[in-house]
Amino acid sequence: MELDLLKALNADRAGRRAAILVTDMADGSQRLIRKSEDFSADPLAEDLEKRFRSGKSGLVSHETGEAFLNVSLPAPRLVIIGAVHISQALVPMAEIAGLDVTVIDPRTAFATEDRFPGGALKAEWPEDVLKEAPLDPFTAVAAVTHDPKIDDYPLMQALRTGCFYVGALGSRKTHGKRLERFTEAGLDPALFKRIDAPIGLDIGASSPEEIAVAVLGSTIAALRKAPGAGS
Protein backbone atom coordinates (compact mmCIF):
# COMPACT_ATOMS: atom_id res chain seq x y z
CA MET A 1 0.00 0.00 0.00
CA GLU A 2 1.23 3.48 -0.75
CA LEU A 3 1.79 5.60 2.33
CA ASP A 4 -0.43 8.39 0.94
CA LEU A 5 -3.32 5.95 0.54
CA LEU A 6 -2.80 4.64 4.08
CA LYS A 7 -2.81 8.23 5.38
CA ALA A 8 -6.04 8.99 3.50
CA LEU A 9 -7.67 5.84 4.89
CA ASN A 10 -6.59 6.67 8.44
CA ALA A 11 -7.92 10.23 8.02
CA ASP A 12 -11.31 8.81 6.96
CA ARG A 13 -11.34 6.45 9.92
CA ALA A 14 -10.45 9.23 12.37
CA GLY A 15 -13.19 11.42 10.85
CA ARG A 16 -15.82 8.65 11.15
CA ARG A 17 -16.25 8.39 7.35
CA ALA A 18 -17.18 5.00 5.90
CA ALA A 19 -14.67 3.82 3.27
CA ILE A 20 -13.64 0.69 1.40
CA LEU A 21 -10.07 -0.09 0.36
CA VAL A 22 -10.18 -2.07 -2.88
CA THR A 23 -7.15 -4.25 -3.69
CA ASP A 24 -6.94 -5.88 -7.11
CA MET A 25 -5.48 -9.30 -6.34
CA ALA A 26 -4.10 -9.70 -9.88
CA ASP A 27 -1.76 -6.69 -9.88
CA GLY A 28 -1.92 -5.37 -6.30
CA SER A 29 -3.30 -1.98 -7.39
CA GLN A 30 -5.47 -0.24 -4.80
CA ARG A 31 -8.08 2.48 -4.56
CA LEU A 32 -10.07 4.06 -1.76
CA ILE A 33 -13.85 4.35 -2.15
CA ARG A 34 -15.77 6.66 0.18
CA LYS A 35 -19.42 6.07 0.95
CA SER A 36 -20.10 9.80 0.77
CA GLU A 37 -18.85 10.04 -2.82
CA ASP A 38 -20.47 8.90 -6.05
CA PHE A 39 -18.96 5.52 -6.99
CA SER A 40 -21.70 4.41 -9.39
CA ALA A 41 -19.21 4.39 -12.29
CA ASP A 42 -16.88 1.99 -10.47
CA PRO A 43 -16.85 -1.51 -12.03
CA LEU A 44 -17.52 -2.93 -8.56
CA ALA A 45 -20.27 -0.41 -7.70
CA GLU A 46 -22.85 -3.07 -6.84
CA ASP A 47 -20.47 -5.02 -4.58
CA LEU A 48 -19.31 -1.79 -2.92
CA GLU A 49 -22.91 -0.82 -2.17
CA LYS A 50 -23.58 -4.25 -0.64
CA ARG A 51 -20.40 -4.19 1.43
CA PHE A 52 -21.12 -0.71 2.79
CA ARG A 53 -24.49 -2.07 3.96
CA SER A 54 -23.22 -5.32 5.50
CA GLY A 55 -19.96 -3.91 6.88
CA LYS A 56 -18.24 -7.19 5.96
CA SER A 57 -14.88 -7.35 4.20
CA GLY A 58 -14.21 -10.00 1.58
CA LEU A 59 -13.07 -11.10 -1.87
CA VAL A 60 -15.23 -10.49 -4.93
CA SER A 61 -14.82 -11.85 -8.44
CA HIS A 62 -14.86 -9.57 -11.44
CA GLU A 63 -14.08 -9.77 -15.16
CA THR A 64 -10.30 -9.88 -14.87
CA GLY A 65 -9.92 -11.68 -11.57
CA GLU A 66 -10.44 -11.07 -7.88
CA ALA A 67 -10.51 -7.98 -5.72
CA PHE A 68 -10.40 -7.70 -1.94
CA LEU A 69 -12.80 -5.19 -0.40
CA ASN A 70 -11.73 -4.12 3.09
CA VAL A 71 -14.64 -2.25 4.65
CA SER A 72 -13.96 0.42 7.26
CA LEU A 73 -17.05 1.66 9.09
CA PRO A 74 -17.01 3.97 12.11
CA ALA A 75 -17.34 2.31 15.52
CA PRO A 76 -20.90 2.44 16.87
CA ARG A 77 -21.46 5.33 19.26
CA LEU A 78 -24.15 6.13 21.83
CA VAL A 79 -24.95 9.75 22.66
CA ILE A 80 -27.02 10.07 25.85
CA ILE A 81 -28.82 13.37 26.37
CA GLY A 82 -29.17 13.88 30.12
CA ALA A 83 -26.78 13.16 33.00
CA VAL A 84 -29.55 11.52 35.02
CA HIS A 85 -29.79 8.37 37.15
CA ILE A 86 -30.62 6.16 34.13
CA SER A 87 -27.49 7.46 32.39
CA GLN A 88 -25.28 6.61 35.37
CA ALA A 89 -26.25 2.96 34.88
CA LEU A 90 -26.34 3.11 31.07
CA VAL A 91 -22.81 4.49 30.58
CA PRO A 92 -20.87 1.52 32.03
CA MET A 93 -23.28 -1.03 30.53
CA ALA A 94 -22.99 0.49 27.04
CA GLU A 95 -19.22 0.70 27.31
CA ILE A 96 -19.03 -2.98 28.26
CA ALA A 97 -21.17 -3.74 25.21
CA GLY A 98 -18.55 -2.02 23.03
CA LEU A 99 -20.16 1.36 22.31
CA ASP A 100 -18.32 4.68 22.41
CA VAL A 101 -20.43 6.66 24.88
CA THR A 102 -20.96 10.41 25.29
CA VAL A 103 -23.26 12.03 27.87
CA ILE A 104 -24.45 15.57 27.20
CA ASP A 105 -26.21 17.76 29.78
CA PRO A 106 -25.85 21.54 30.23
CA ARG A 107 -27.22 21.40 33.79
CA THR A 108 -24.11 21.52 35.93
CA ALA A 109 -25.97 20.15 38.97
CA PHE A 110 -26.41 16.87 37.07
CA ALA A 111 -23.30 16.92 34.90
CA THR A 112 -20.57 16.38 37.46
CA GLU A 113 -17.37 14.39 37.15
CA ASP A 114 -18.27 12.62 40.43
CA ARG A 115 -21.43 11.21 38.92
CA PHE A 116 -19.80 10.46 35.54
CA PRO A 117 -16.13 9.60 35.92
CA GLY A 118 -14.14 8.52 32.88
CA GLY A 119 -14.42 11.40 30.43
CA ALA A 120 -17.68 10.52 28.65
CA LEU A 121 -19.39 13.66 29.99
CA LYS A 122 -19.92 17.00 28.21
CA ALA A 123 -21.46 19.63 30.51
CA GLU A 124 -22.67 21.75 27.59
CA TRP A 125 -25.77 22.31 25.46
CA PRO A 126 -26.35 19.59 22.85
CA GLU A 127 -26.39 22.32 20.16
CA ASP A 128 -22.75 23.14 20.98
CA VAL A 129 -21.45 19.60 21.42
CA LEU A 130 -23.09 18.31 18.22
CA LYS A 131 -21.57 21.17 16.25
CA GLU A 132 -18.12 19.82 17.17
CA ALA A 133 -19.02 16.12 16.90
CA PRO A 134 -21.98 15.77 14.51
CA LEU A 135 -24.40 12.85 14.67
CA ASP A 136 -24.22 10.24 11.89
CA PRO A 137 -25.80 6.91 10.87
CA PHE A 138 -23.31 5.04 13.07
CA THR A 139 -24.57 6.82 16.19
CA ALA A 140 -27.47 6.05 18.54
CA VAL A 141 -29.18 8.81 20.51
CA ALA A 142 -31.07 8.31 23.77
CA ALA A 143 -32.71 11.45 25.19
CA VAL A 144 -33.63 11.04 28.85
CA THR A 145 -33.83 14.52 30.45
CA HIS A 146 -37.65 14.96 30.25
CA ASP A 147 -36.85 18.58 29.34
CA PRO A 148 -37.83 19.68 25.80
CA LYS A 149 -35.33 22.54 25.92
CA ILE A 150 -32.53 19.97 26.14
CA ASP A 151 -33.98 16.86 24.40
CA ASP A 152 -35.75 18.33 21.35
CA TYR A 153 -32.78 19.59 19.35
CA PRO A 154 -30.65 16.42 19.52
CA LEU A 155 -33.70 14.23 18.79
CA MET A 156 -34.52 16.23 15.67
CA GLN A 157 -30.87 16.15 14.60
CA ALA A 158 -30.81 12.39 15.18
CA LEU A 159 -33.77 11.95 12.81
CA ARG A 160 -32.30 14.32 10.22
CA THR A 161 -28.88 12.61 10.18
CA GLY A 162 -30.22 9.04 10.13
CA CYS A 163 -28.92 7.85 13.50
CA PHE A 164 -29.32 4.07 13.72
CA TYR A 165 -31.31 4.37 16.95
CA VAL A 166 -33.36 7.28 18.32
CA GLY A 167 -34.93 6.81 21.75
CA ALA A 168 -36.86 9.34 23.81
CA LEU A 169 -37.95 9.03 27.43
CA GLY A 170 -41.47 10.06 28.36
CA SER A 171 -45.05 8.83 28.48
CA ARG A 172 -47.20 8.51 25.38
CA LYS A 173 -48.80 11.85 26.25
CA THR A 174 -45.41 13.56 26.59
CA HIS A 175 -44.34 11.99 23.31
CA GLY A 176 -47.52 13.20 21.59
CA LYS A 177 -46.72 16.77 22.58
CA ARG A 178 -43.13 16.27 21.44
CA LEU A 179 -44.28 15.22 17.97
CA GLU A 180 -46.54 18.31 17.79
CA ARG A 181 -43.47 20.49 18.45
CA PHE A 182 -41.43 18.57 15.85
CA THR A 183 -44.19 19.05 13.27
CA GLU A 184 -44.27 22.79 14.02
CA ALA A 185 -40.48 22.87 13.61
CA GLY A 186 -40.97 21.55 10.07
CA LEU A 187 -39.71 17.99 10.56
CA ASP A 188 -41.07 15.36 8.14
CA PRO A 189 -43.68 13.33 10.10
CA ALA A 190 -42.59 10.22 8.14
CA LEU A 191 -39.50 10.20 10.35
CA PHE A 192 -41.49 10.02 13.60
CA LYS A 193 -41.93 6.25 13.52
CA ARG A 194 -38.16 5.95 13.89
CA ILE A 195 -38.39 7.27 17.45
CA ASP A 196 -38.44 4.57 20.14
CA ALA A 197 -40.94 6.00 22.65
CA PRO A 198 -41.64 5.07 25.36
CA ILE A 199 -37.94 4.35 25.37
CA GLY A 200 -36.42 0.86 25.53
CA LEU A 201 -37.44 -2.77 25.13
CA ASP A 202 -40.78 -3.66 26.69
CA ILE A 203 -39.42 -5.71 29.61
CA GLY A 204 -41.43 -3.99 32.34
CA ALA A 205 -38.38 -2.00 33.43
CA SER A 206 -39.06 0.03 36.56
CA SER A 207 -35.85 1.21 38.27
CA PRO A 208 -33.36 3.50 36.47
CA GLU A 209 -30.97 0.56 36.17
CA GLU A 210 -33.64 -1.60 34.55
CA ILE A 211 -34.58 1.18 32.15
CA ALA A 212 -30.89 1.39 31.23
CA VAL A 213 -30.96 -2.33 30.34
CA ALA A 214 -34.08 -1.75 28.21
CA VAL A 215 -32.46 1.18 26.37
CA LEU A 216 -29.26 -0.76 25.74
CA GLY A 217 -31.31 -3.72 24.47
CA SER A 218 -33.14 -1.48 22.00
CA THR A 219 -29.86 0.07 20.86
CA ILE A 220 -28.26 -3.33 20.21
CA ALA A 221 -31.39 -4.54 18.41
CA ALA A 222 -31.24 -1.50 16.12
CA LEU A 223 -27.52 -2.10 15.56
CA ARG A 224 -27.70 -5.80 14.76
CA LYS A 225 -31.17 -6.35 13.31
CA ALA A 226 -31.31 -3.42 10.89
CA PRO A 227 -32.06 -4.24 7.24
CA GLY A 228 -28.85 -5.29 5.53
CA ALA A 229 -26.92 -5.96 8.73
CA GLY A 230 -25.18 -9.31 8.57
CA SER A 231 -26.18 -9.95 4.95
Q: Which residues bind another protein (CB under 8 A)?
A: 1-3, 6-7, 9-10, 13, 23, 25, 28, 53-59, 68, 70-76, 98, 100, 137-138, 164, 222-224, 226, 228-230
Return the closest-CA partner of residue 22 out of 9, 13, 7, 3: 9
Least distance to another protein, CB of residue 70, Å: 5
Measured from the CB atom, the residue of 58 and 118 that comes closer to another protein is 58
Measured from the CB atom, the residue of 54 and 112 that comes closer to another protein is 54
Going 81 to 82 to 85 to 87, the CA torsion angle's sign is positive
Q: Are 54 and 183 in contact (CB under 8 A)?
A: no
Measured from the CB atom, the residue of 45 and 226 that comes closer to another protein is 226
Least distance to another protein, CB of residue 193, Å: 17
Q: Position 223: which residue type?
A: L
- Strand partners for 141: 79, 166
Measured from the CB atom, the residue of 199 and 223 that comes closer to another protein is 223
Q: Are 29 and 68 in contact (CB under 8 A)?
A: no
**Helix (H, G, I), strand (E, B), or coil: what is residue 10?**
helix
Least distance to another protein, CB of residue 150, Å: 25
E strands within the chain?
A: 19-24, 30-34, 58-62, 65-72, 77-81, 100-104, 121-122, 139-143, 165-168, 195-196
Least distance to another protein, CB of residue 221, Å: 11
Q: Are 116 and 87 in contact (CB under 8 A)?
A: yes
Least distance to another protein, CB of residue 8, Å: 10
Least distance to another protein, CB of residue 30, Å: 9
Measured from the CB atom, the residue of 159 and 222 that comes closer to another protein is 222
Through-space distance between the first and last CA atoms of the chain, rounded to whole angstroms: 28
Measured from the CB atom, the residue of 1 and 45 that comes closer to another protein is 1
